[in-house]
Amino acid sequence: MRGSFATLASLCVSVFVVGTSEYLISGLLPQVGADLDVSVGTAGQAVTAYALGVVLGGPVVAAATIKVPRKALAMCLMLLFAVGSAISAAAPTFELLLLGRVVSSLSHAAFLALALVMATSVVPRERAGTAISAVASGFTVATLLGVPLGALLGERAGWRAPFIALTGLALVGVVLLAAVLPRQAAPATRLREEVRVVTRRPVLLAIATTAVGFSGVAVVFTYIAPLLTRVSGFSTTTVSGLLLAYGAGSFLGNLIAGRLTDKSMSATVRAVFSALTGALLLFPFAAVWQPTAVVAILVLGLLSTATIAPLQGLILRHAGNAPTLAMAANVGAFNLGAAAGSALGGLIVAADALRWAGLAGAALSLAGLALTHLVLPRTPHEERSTRPTDGDLRTTV
């Protein structure tokens, strides 16, 4: 038990470091633009480059490293992240900054997928949901504390300082992983088997559920600050406090969903999507009155990350003995959903319909709920009967 706790803790800390990088630069765009002589809009492409690296490069890196022993791979991926952060910190031009961001992003999806797989390997199967949520909490804490603190450091010490700090933290993470992670041999599966698993209908449906369902949250959350100030009438200071409460709620919701996933994955994922659909549907009406707006933002925070444990668990269920590539693809699906939701939200804002973004988010969450009925059993008995055994993959590939 002590060994599994240390493993989960080290993976959680490492995920926190990697997760902080994704949106860190969003709060530093004016400084980056001024220093590297580009517009703020151009500087924002550093966010896009990272997202594309996660979506496209993550599965490629995962596939290319299938035969690398798991502990060594985790350390190498953290080193790759450190290299990318160092390039970003030292970049004399915007082009080199983009290169550093892409290098860091290549480790993102592969490392998170590996961390989730390793986490479930050190706990009993019936506690897989809790293990996934424990490691994923590193990502929610990164959003809650890492990104705001990094932006604050950037304002006071220059935009390069947060990337220097990330480089140092990544190296600390490498040492921590070296000291704590148990040695695990490379999977016996071949790349052909991993590819075959990720192209199976249930796995593709699960990945689609992730992308479509999570985009519903992104439609609203990407533009939540202007919505709260323009529609709800909150001050910018109050909005900062509400966003902190949102982050705390997302941390709590992720952990609760992990425990519920251990009891019933089907019921958890459907309950979360149903609640998300309702919350997003009511958001445009709640936003016009400050007390209900506060309740709406807290509920949305609780539900926003509650999809992580059941959806990743869903991938694990259908991936059998070859989960690494499928998990990396699903991590990319979260990013793809965030990008698609943000883009749709931008169109809604451009159409001067900021208040009504929640309706589009509700439609996407409802579509995610519909997809779960294609990929998940309807009863607990069916759920238990569809859990793959160790031999399932060997009989299907």
Last residue in a domain, options 150, 168, 186 = 186
Residues 283, 263: one domain?
A: yes
pLDDT of residue 312: 81
Residues 158, 195: one domain?
A: no
> How many structural domains comprise the chain?
2
CA distance 233 to 203: 43
Residues 140, 224: one domain?
A: no
Residue 275 has pLDDT above 80, yes or no: yes
The DSSP secondary-structure symbol of 123 reads S
Q: Is the pTM of this model over 0.85?
A: no
Cβ atoms of 112 and 326 closer than 8 Å? no
Could you read off the pLDDT of 75-103 as tens digits, one per residue? 999 999 999 999 999 999 999 999 999 99
CA distance 88 to 164: 9
Tell me the CB-side half-sphere exposure of residue 237, using CA atoms within 13 A.
Answer: 0
Last residue in a domain, options 161, 186, 211 = 186
Nearest alpha-carbon partner for 257 in 131, 392, 109, 83: 131
Residue 201's domain comprises 189-397
CATH number at residue 54: 1.20.1250.20
Residues 116, 88: one domain?
A: yes
For 80-116, give one letter per residue: b (16+ CB within 10 A) or e: bbbbbbbbbbebeebeebbbbbbbbbbbbbbbbbbbb
The rounded percent of the chain whose pLDDT value lies above 90 is 25
Residues 211, 325: one domain?
A: yes
69 confidence band (pLDDT: 50, 70, 90): confident
Last residue in a domain, options 122, 151, 186 = 186
Question: For residue 121, with 0-12 CB atoms within 10 Å meaning exposed, 13-18 middle and 19 or more buried, which class applies?
Answer: middle
Residue-level length of the chain = 397
Could you read off the pLDDT of 173-191 as tens digits, one per residue? 999 999 988 877 666 677 7
Question: For residue 237, with 0-12 CB atoms within 10 Å meaning exposed, 13-18 middle and 19 or more buried, which class applies?
Answer: exposed
Highest mean pLDDT among 46-55, 126-135, 271-280: 271-280
* Secondary structure class of 183 (helix, strand, coil): coil
Mean pLDDT of the chain: 83
pLDDT of residue 188: 66
Cβ atoms of 276 and 257 closer than 8 Å? no
Average confidence (pLDDT) over 147-168: 85
Residues 266, 357: one domain?
A: yes
The rounded percent of the chain whose pLDDT value lies above 70 is 91
Residue 386 has pLDDT above 70, yes or no: no
Contact residues for 110 (Cβ-Cβ < 8 A; gap 6+): 58, 59, 61, 62, 65, 77, 328
Nearest alpha-carbon partner for 123 in 313, 273, 252, 384: 313
Average confidence (pLDDT) over 210-231: 86
342's tokens: 């943000």
397 confidence band (pLDDT: 50, 70, 90): very low
Residues 356, 281: one domain?
A: yes
Residues 74, 205: one domain?
A: no
Question: For residue 225, with 0-12 CB atoms within 10 Å meaning exposed, 13-18 middle and 19 or more buried, which class applies?
Answer: middle
Could you read off the pLDDT of 136-148 as tens digits, one per residue? 888 888 877 776 7
Could you read off the pLDDT of 305-332 as tens digits, one per residue? 888 888 888 777 777 666 778 888 888 8
Residues 293, 267: one domain?
A: yes
Residues 132, 47: one domain?
A: yes
Residues 204, 99: one domain?
A: no
Residues 70, 160: one domain?
A: yes
